[in-house]
Structure 1
Amino acid sequence: MFTTYRRVLALPGALVFSMSGLVARLPISMVSLGIVLLVSTRTGSYSLAGTVSAAYLIANALFAVLQARLIDRFGQRRVLPPAVVAFAVGMTGLMTTVELDVRAPWPHLCAALSGAAMPQIGSCIRARWSHLVPDKAGLHTAFAFEAVVDETVFILGPALVTVLATTVHPLAGLTSAIVATVLGTAVLVSQRRTEPPASGGVHRHAAGPMPWPVLAPLIACAFAMGALLGGAEVATVALSDELGSKPLSGLMLAVWALGSLLSGLVTGALHLTASNASRFRWGMVALGLVMLPLPFVDAFVPLALFLFLSGFAISPTLIAGFAWIEESVPSGRLTEGIALFTTGLAAGLAPGAALVGLVVDASGASASYWVTAAAGLLGAGLAVLTRTAAVRPSPTGSSS
């Protein structure tokens, strides 16, 4: 299995840009939690902490695609440095306003600036793999490796920011997020040999039309998947609390992430003959179905078992989704296409968590898993109905 991974990681510059991407992506799982920890500690208000965190997340969702378009047009080395500077300035401003007890809307504005400028590292890394890897089998392995990196980020990031903010200093968590973003992005930008070529300032439509009959349902699937992920996290915390041990929710969520990480490793090592579209559809169906037993769970052991199984469906589905986008969108708009998918995923997290929270308050934690099951089945239905692009759009195609 590891021979398969060594083959792609041995490509010139691959290991360096992927590992720098891991470091630069750590704040994805650190900043929102770090904001809540800082603001709630300094002000005693969880509602204020929630609104400041929401300002960051909303701005990030709104501006991610715009940044990706600029990266496709002008190149990573021209867009990422000013973006990371703006992110650091926004984060520093946020920490300063909270420490000085400056009233709203200044903490919200600083959070929004940092969210809007957050470098789109995941999209950039996958675009580099698409540019560097010469064959589809190798690209499948590369995308699988990045799925494993994503899971690593979401295992390490929350633990790191929590430990630093609670045992070192309330500012330490967000400070470490700034350092990771700046250093990781700086190393990534320095890797010129693996950077995909920019379009040279040509208007984005000249790169070819977006295949919206494929892309729009995929974005909707990503939204449903995000709602499932965000909702399942809240439901798991609530159920652990009902079962008498809220701290065990961390272990349950770690088991969930472990299932996804392991399945990503295995998927990348396999030579799969099924199309990316078929694998994505089956992955969404499996993810929806494996959530169905969770509303009936009333103990930690079966909870861990079914979370592990549902986690096993996450990485292969995401790997197939990114590969489907890579083969469908124009090469000159690949970063934009990937960012659209990841933005859809991120946009579903908050609504899923909020809806599950309402059901928890009204009917209990177990019943709230019906929300995640419904989101999974909705995504499965959308995936089945999604059209398949026969070929990548021509770079000289008409405007979308």
Structure 2
Amino acid sequence: MSNPYARIFSEPGAKGFSIAAFFGRLPLAMAPIGIVAMLSQTLGEYWLAGAVAATYGLGNAFLAPQISRWIDRYGQTAVAAPAAAVSAAAFVLLILASHWNWPAWTLFATALGAATLPSMSAMVRARWSELFRDRPELNTAFAFESAADELIYISGASLSVGLAAAWFPEAGMLASTLFMVGGTAAFLLQRKTEPAVRAPQADGPAGSAIRQRPVQIITLALVFVGATFATAEVSAIAITTALGQPGAASLVIGVYAVGSFVLGLVLGALNPRLALHRQLLIAVGVLALTSLPLLVAGSSVALLAAAVFLSGVAISPTFITAFGLIERRVPASMLTEGVTWVMTGIGIGMSLGAFVSGWVVDHFGPQNGFWVSVVASLAAALTIALGQRALAGERAAPGRLAVS
């Protein structure tokens, strides 16, 4: 049996833009925690560090889909290059503001400016779609990128915090900015694989991709999935601390992501023939089912790690099928924006999940934080189940709206 991953990377230019995109999106994991690590050390105020990080995160959640919409309209290089330049300049100013103890308002202003960071995850998937549209290799490519996202979440946050602790407070943010500049530049310089700009037809779907019913359904579902992701991290930290083994939290969180990473690669190699909307329903159903053992897994680190590993296996399959459905149900002229809305949903879910699970842990104890995972995963499954008819519709082509 031939290696499906070797097949997708044999396409001219595929290795180059995928490697560049990996480094270009490291700030996805490095920047939010890097801001907290930097400001908490230089200013000594966690509430301010968290508020500045939230300003960046929420700002990017709002701006990234708009930037991606312009990318669909005018091209990746024409829009992403200036947007990334503004983001990089703002990150540098934020680092200087932290180092030189500038007024607090400058921290918020520069964090908001840095939020113009374009969605590299969306742009790289748009390039894969350009290469393999309507071909089975596209599912393998999306599986690889979902696994890459997992690896970024595993390594990026740890790298950012580790650099800030080992070298100097701004080290993590400086490295994040350098990765973003170098990765984005290398990605955009590869013009041969840049997707062609497709102008929408006059009688076709107009406006934002979020007006498309499949985008609304999948984005909402992945808000809940993102919440389960963050809840696992918060609850793992709280439980291992309560067990007197706080250092084990990194191991538990790593196991969570590893399970998802491995199964995602396997799914990409197998390329199941079942309809994608059915695959997504199965994935979120498994996610809900495997969240239940978490409720009774707080007696030891070993038991916690096993339950967390089991609960993580459906994350990558959920992401892979979700992005595959977006590619099939959203007009090509809106693809980058459509993918970005889904990424935004994950980010919003992670922020809300961390907040809600933290509140539950504070008020009801470490073990009960996992109830947020159970409720969120059930909500994701219900959302996808109710949206099956819309998700089963044919691709929204110019001149025809998606079935809803």
Structure 1 residue 5 displacement after superposition: 0.3
Structure 1 residue 207 displacement after superposition: 5.8
Partner residue of 1:391 out of 390, 394, 403 = 394
CA offsets per residue over residues 320-357 of structure 1, 9 Å max, x none? 00001110000110001111111111111111111111
**1:229-244 aligned within 5 A:** 229-244=229-244
Stretches of structure 1 lacking an aligned partner (at least 5 in a row): none
Q: Greater shift after overlay, 388-397 or 232-241? A: 388-397
Instruction: Give the aligned residue type for 2:272.
Output: L
Match of 2:193 in 1: 194
Match of 1:85 in 2: 85
Match of 2:311 in 1: 310
Q: How many residues align?
A: 398
Match of 2:101 in 1: 101
- Structure 2 distance, partners of 1:374, 1:65, is 27
Match of 2:271 in 1: 271
Match of 1:166 in 2: 165
- Structure 2 distance, partners of 1:332, 1:317, is 24
Structure 1 residue 8 displacement after superposition: 0.4
- Structure 2 distance, partners of 1:36, 1:2, is 45
CA offsets per residue over residues 242-267 of structure 1, 9 Å max, x none? 11111110110000111011011101
For the Cα contact (< 8 Å) 2:201–2:398, is it kept in 1? no
- Structure 2 distance, partners of 1:396, 1:256, is 43
Q: Greater shift after overlay, 157-166 or 15-24? A: 157-166
CA offsets per residue over residues 250-296 of structure 1, 9 Å max, x none? 11000011101101110111031111111111111111111111121
Q: TM-score, normalised by structure 2?
A: 0.95
Match of 1:179 in 2: 178
- Structure 2 distance, partners of 1:181, 1:2, is 34
Q: Greater shift after overlay, 155-164 or 58-67? A: 155-164
Structure 1 residue 185 displacement after superposition: 0.6
Instruction: Give the aligned residue type for 2:71.
Output: I
- Percent identity between matched residues is 35
CA offsets per residue over residues 135-191 of structure 1, 9 Å max, x none? 431001000010111111112212221221111121111111111011111111111
Match of 1:16 in 2: 16
Structure 1 residue 396 displacement after superposition: 2.9
Instruction: Give the aligned residue type for 1:147.
Output: S
**1:277-292 aligned within 5 A:** 277-292=277-292
- Structure 2 distance, partners of 1:351, 1:204, is 39
Structure 1 residue 120 displacement after superposition: 0.8
Residue 50 in structure 1 maps to residue 50 in structure 2: yes
For the Cα contact (< 8 Å) 1:208–1:398, is it kept in 2? no
CA offsets per residue over residues 219-242 of structure 1, 9 Å max, x none? 110111111111221111111111
Stretches of structure 2 lacking an aligned partner (at least 5 in a row): none
For the Cα contact (< 8 Å) 2:30–2:176, is it kept in 1? yes
**1:334-353 aligned within 5 A:** 334-353=335-354
For the Cα contact (< 8 Å) 2:163–2:171, is it kept in 1? yes
For the Cα contact (< 8 Å) 1:208–1:397, is it kept in 2? no
- Structure 1 distance, partners of 2:201, 2:61, is 23
Match of 2:144 in 1: 145
Instruction: Give the aligned residue type for 2:155.
Output: L
Match of 2:381 in 1: 380
For the Cα contact (< 8 Å) 1:2–1:269, is it kept in 2? no
Instruction: Give the aligned residue type for 1:353.
Output: A
- Structure 2 distance, partners of 1:207, 1:74, is 17
Q: CA 1:352 to 1:398, structure 2 compared with 1: closer, same or farther past 3 Å? A: closer
- Structure 2 distance, partners of 1:342, 1:204, is 28
Look up the SS of the partner of 1:169 in the other structure: coil
Match of 1:299 in 2: 300
Match of 1:4 in 2: 4
Structure 1 residue 214 displacement after superposition: 2.2
Q: TM-score, normalised by structure 1?
A: 0.96
- Structure 2 distance, partners of 1:29, 1:2, is 33
Q: Greater shift after overlay, 119-128 or 147-156? A: 147-156
- Structure 1 distance, partners of 2:321, 2:203, is 26
